[in-house]
Amino acid sequence: MDLAQEHRRLRSLLLVGVAAILSADSGRAAVLRVCPQGCAYRLPSAAVAQAQSGDEVRLAAGTYVDCFVIPPTVRNLRVVGEPGAAMTGKICQQKALVVNSGLNTTLQGFELYGVSDQENVGGVRHQGTNLTMIGMHIHDNDDGILTNAHPVQPDYLLFDSCLFERNGWNNPSGMAHNMYIGHATLFVFRNSTSRATKKGGALSLMLTPPPTPPPH
């Protein structure tokens, strides 16, 4: 089996697994709305803190000075921005505006920008398993996205219609990038652009094969 066939096989397995989780969570999924006023939540972090597996956090238009963390106990969470939704100005866990430790997380349709410690914080720090990003605009951070380097299980990343630009701080180590994918079992970058990097790579990518199962 060649590499392209193996990637297609792995992606098929991912989609089957995601569909099963969606089905399991769909019976009790909730939509948690965030808006500057008039909603149950005024900050994305407050809604994400209350979200359960399968829920959707929906961000109304507005710029939120906030950051949030998706914990490893939450799976299949969607965070969706309406046109004009953006986050800036805060760094969670000294890592990023969005720290994803969840399973099968989707980020869609909002802007992440303007965080720096002049070293290595980012728009997104992915340290969970399986991340989909659709229509995201991530710009003017130390890193656009940074992932962990040593996955303990297969990790699938799908970025569709995303724009990464002007990330990559000119730090002494030179380790900040527009996109740093420190591991991925499968990485799909579709209808997307990474451009105008301030420092480092437009896309630094390392693919990691799935772990070999132990012998029976």
- Whether 55 has a pLDDT exceeding 70, the answer reads yes
Q: How far is CA 70 from its chain centroid?
A: 10
Max mean pLDDT among 21-25, 59-63, 139-143, 153-157 falls in: 59-63
CA dihedral 53, 54, 58, 63 (to 10 degrees): 40
What's the CA gap between 169 and 148, in Å, rounded? 19
Reported confidence tier of residue 188, pLDDT bands at 50, 70, 90: very high
Q: What is the mean pLDDT of residues 148-163?
A: 84
- Give the pLDDT of residue 14: 54
Give the span between the Cα atoms of 54 and 178, in whole angstroms. 30
Helix (H, G, I), strand (E, B) or coil at 82: coil
Q: What is the pLDDT of residue 17?
A: 47
